[in-house]
Chain A
Amino acid sequence: MEAVGERGNLAGVGHILLVLSGKGGVGKSTISTELALALRHVGKKVGILDVDLCGPSIPQMLKVQGKGVHQCDSGWVPVFVDQDKSISLMSIGFLLEKPDDAVVWRGPKKNALIKQFISDVTWGDLDFLIVDTPPGTSDEHISTVESLRPYKPLGAVLVTTPQAVSVGDVRRELTFCKKTGLQVIGIVENMSGFVCPHCLECTNLFSKGGGEELARHAGVPFLGCVPLDPQLTQSLEEGRDFIQEFPKSSAFPALAHIAQQILDRTSPQGS
């Protein structure tokens, strides 16, 4: 747990990955949370850094809202989600007095906090640090990518929903990655198709295939489709471990497959 040397508090972190999307509400926080749970499932230690300062969702999704962050000599101690301390989380949600407090901040203040989040959280030893971001290509993103650059992040997972309106924004996010030199691990298409629990008819609520087509068009890997699954939404609302509790659901194999591809990507270097 030594927090010395050039990498400071990130010295014990194996791989850093960012979860990005140009579009809001496509499931960045959902994918971040489920990836963390899936990686834990295969025995990895995972940290999540939530840099969505105006709309932090991860504390709710992991049922740790209302927890406090403590300060120690080397910085902020993240909140541990479980007894085994296999998932730790840092979010602005832990710094708010009341959960409904609005963080009405302009860029410079957001940037200062993000820098602090990256340098001052005592993660300890982690296999993966997942950074969940707000939508867009602005202050939070530029600051996060700049501050993480010395730590050589593994890359970014881009999340989209299938419809053209969302894919359009994610195209811009791809340009952002290219311009900032951030590697794209791949694209996830979320909310693709809803299977009616009563008659098993599949309806493509937000159309279908947009994410895959974008991946092909941009020449980046396509990591898979995650169907709309009310069990998944429900378990996130209640902060339950979907990966543990619903192995038979339709979204499970998709999420497990995405986690596996990320693991494969790290194995040659030995994590």
Chain B
Amino acid sequence: MAEAGGAAPHGCPGTSSAQAGRAAACQGCPSRGLCAAGGPAASDPAIEEIKEKMKIVKHKILVLSGKGGVGKSTFSAHLAHGLAKDETKQVALLDIDICGPSIPKIMGIEGEQVHQSGSGWSPVYVEENLCVMSVGFLLSGPDDAVIWRGPKKNGMIKQFLRDVDWGEIDYLIVDTPPGTSDEHLSIVQYLSSSQIDGAVIITTPQEVSLQDVRKEINFCHKVKLPIIGVVENMSGFVCPKCKIESQIFPPTTGGAEKMCQNLNISLLGKVPLDPQIGKSCDQGQSFFSEIPESPATSSYRNIIQRIQEYCGLHHSQEKRSNQGME
């Protein structure tokens, strides 16, 4: 980020510095107030509590995208469904899109309520080994808007991590809103001492989406969040009548494939547009069971397998380095 307007004064500490707006050079700079406004958050005792809680959560995966409406929630939900196929695994899905929670609808549990127990909020169970938490369960109706500024959203995310009775979990999947702001900084910060496996980044093929996604990738680098890989969603549509493929969101700059090459990140796969996917999501059903034969579904299966492999590898590496330390 450059200076917020006009020329930066000599010795500008940079807008992302802890000294932003406070250094001697900032005196008299027109952007001083702006730079000083977003100071770094002081370390929060909750981070330690969350670390304790997360000790029994084996893998933590964030689903991110700079762009909205590219399929983060659809992907998160079906990653959860896919991982929960293995009945020996416990899977939890946490929706931190506070202003636009879609997960309850996609998982078919809209209107459910969370219960308070001695050990905290109980998440909502979709299956025996698959549970969900979302701000959607705390609202009184579908018209209820969550008109909150950052600090309140951050407080909610903290509560979701610290006060939900997650229990022993193999995979915690976190679905995020678009952007690189409060929710993203908070989740990374709160999980900072509990090792996130990495982030899956979702995009659509067109440049307008990729340009936001590149920002998200820079965000990951900035906060030192490992990137598991990129999923290109809505990539091509096969007309059900004539079977000819059209590019609805044309990859004018080479799509995710080119971007991944340029940035040296792995492309986990491409998922074609299938109207059945949207329909399944609207009805709250898993398309693994609704349309098991669709090319989109098999592409999803491959991607999930690659994520499982990544997590397995990540886990054994971590174990090794821990043993090395001891």
The answer to whether A137 touches B149, judged by C-beta atoms less than 8 angstroms apart, is no
Given A95-B2, A166-B69: A107 and B181 interface contact (C-beta under 8 Å): yes
What is the CA–CA distance of A199 and B241 in the complex, to the nearest angstrom? 8
Q: Which of B41, B73, B105, B145 contacts A176 (CB 8 A)?
A: B145
The answer to whether A230 touches B4, judged by C-beta atoms less than 8 angstroms apart, is no
Total B residues in contact with A, Cβ cutoff 8 Å: 78
Given A135-B100, A169-B102: A23 and B180 interface contact (C-beta under 8 Å): no
List, in ascending order, chain B residues with CB within 8 A of A205's CB.
237, 248, 273, 275, 278
Interface string of A142-161 (1 = CB under 8 A from B): 10000000000000000001
Given A169-B102, A237-B252: A102 and B216 interface contact (C-beta under 8 Å): yes
Closest to A30 in B: B208
Residue in A53, A54, A60, A197 whose Cβ sees the most chain B Cβ within 10 Å:
A54
What is the CA–CA distance of A120 and B5 in the complex, to the nearest angstrom? 11
Q: Is A209 on the interface with B (CB-CB < 8 A)?
A: no
The answer to whether B147 touches A142, judged by C-beta atoms less than 8 angstroms apart, is yes
Name which of B31-39, B84-92, B316-324 contacts chain A.
B31-39
What is the CA–CA distance of A237 and B273 in the complex, to the nearest angstrom? 19
Q: Is B224 on the interface with A (CB-CB < 8 A)?
A: no
- The SS class assigned to the B binding surface is loop
Shortest CB distance B156–A (Å): 12
Shortest CB distance B146–A (Å): 6
List, in ascending order, chain A residues with CB within 8 A of B246's CB.
194, 196-198, 230
Closest to B279 in A: A207
Closest to A201 in B: B241
Closest to A76 in B: B5
Question: For residues 125 through 145 of chain A, which have their beta carbon under 8 Å from a beta carbon of chain B?
Answer: 134-139, 141-142
List, in ascending order, chain B residues with CB within 8 A of A100's CB.
211, 214-215, 217-218
What is the CA–CA distance of A230 and B219 in the complex, to the nearest angstrom? 30
The answer to whether A109 touches B38, judged by C-beta atoms less than 8 angstroms apart, is yes
What is the CA–CA distance of A187 and B240 in the complex, to the nearest angstrom? 30
Interface string of A227-271 (1 = CB under 8 A from B): 010100110111000000000000000000000000000000000
What is the CA–CA distance of A120 and B33 in the complex, to the nearest angstrom? 14
The answer to whether B105 touches A164, judged by C-beta atoms less than 8 angstroms apart, is yes
Q: Is B295 on the interface with A (CB-CB < 8 A)?
A: no
The answer to whether B150 touches A108, judged by C-beta atoms less than 8 angstroms apart, is yes
Shortest CB distance B23–A (Å): 16
The answer to whether B37 touches A135, judged by C-beta atoms less than 8 angstroms apart, is no
Interface string of A33-73 (1 = CB under 8 A from B): 00000000000000000000111010011000000010100
The answer to whether B149 touches A57, judged by C-beta atoms less than 8 angstroms apart, is no
Q: Is B229 on the interface with A (CB-CB < 8 A)?
A: no
Closest to B234 in A: A205
The answer to whether B252 touches A179, judged by C-beta atoms less than 8 angstroms apart, is no
Shortest CB distance A25–B (Å): 2
What is the CA–CA distance of A132 and B282 in the complex, to the nearest angstrom? 27
What is the CA–CA distance of A109 and B142 in the complex, to the nearest angstrom? 31
The answer to whether B178 touches A55, judged by C-beta atoms less than 8 angstroms apart, is yes
The answer to whether B33 touches A112, judged by C-beta atoms less than 8 angstroms apart, is yes
What is the CA–CA distance of A242 and B279 in the complex, to the nearest angstrom? 30
Interface string of A83-118 (1 = CB under 8 A from B): 000000000000111011111111111111100100
Q: Is B207 on the interface with A (CB-CB < 8 A)?
A: yes
Q: Is B198 on the interface with A (CB-CB < 8 A)?
A: no
Given A198-B242, A198-B244: A71 and B5 interface contact (C-beta under 8 Å): yes
The answer to whether B145 touches A173, judged by C-beta atoms less than 8 angstroms apart, is yes
Shortest CB distance B281–A (Å): 6
Residue in B6, B150, B179 whose Cβ sees the most chain A Cβ within 10 Å:
B179
The answer to whether B34 touches A116, judged by C-beta atoms less than 8 angstroms apart, is yes
Q: Which of A120, A164, A176 contacts B282 (CB 8 A)?
A: A164
The answer to whether A137 touches B250, judged by C-beta atoms less than 8 angstroms apart, is no
Given A102-B222, A105-B181, A138-B153: A172 and B99 interface contact (C-beta under 8 Å): yes
What is the CA–CA distance of A116 and B5 in the complex, to the nearest angstrom? 10
Question: For residues 227 through 275 of chain B, which have their beta carbon under 8 Å from a beta carbon of chain A?
Answer: 237, 239-242, 244, 246-250, 252-253, 273, 275
List, in ascending order, chain B residues with CB within 8 A of A54's CB.
66, 178-181, 212, 215
Q: Is B46 on the interface with A (CB-CB < 8 A)?
A: no
Shortest CB distance B115–A (Å): 23
What is the CA–CA distance of A100 and B180 in the complex, to the nearest angstrom? 12
Shortest CB distance B272–A (Å): 11
List, in ascending order, chain B residues with CB within 8 A of A80's CB.
none
Q: Which of B68, B149, B180 contacts A135 (CB 8 A)?
A: B68
Residue in B38, B70, B144, B237 whose Cβ sees the most chain A Cβ within 10 Å:
B38
Closest to B181 in A: A54
Shortest CB distance A5–B (Å): 23
What is the CA–CA distance of A11 and B149 in the complex, to the nearest angstrom? 29
User: Closest 7 A-B residue pairs measured CB to CB?
Assistant: A24-B68, A25-B69, A107-B150, A109-B38, A54-B179, A136-B99, A199-B242
B residues adjacent to A (C-beta < 8 A): 1-6, 16, 33-35, 37-38, 41, 66-70, 73, 98-100, 102, 105-106, 142-151, 153, 177-182, 184-185, 204, 206-209, 211-212, 214-219, 222-223, 237, 239-242, 244, 246-250, 252-253, 273, 275, 278-279, 281-282
- A/B interface sample: 12 pairs, CB < 8 A: A25-B69, A54-B180, A57-B211, A76-B5, A104-B16, A104-B223, A105-B38, A138-B99, A168-B105, A174-B143, A176-B147, A205-B248
Sample of 17 more A-B contacts, CB < 8 Å, known A204-B275, A237-B252: A24-B68, A54-B215, A60-B211, A101-B1, A102-B216, A106-B185, A107-B151, A135-B68, A137-B148, A138-B99, A139-B182, A163-B281, A165-B73, A171-B143, A201-B242, A205-B275, A234-B250
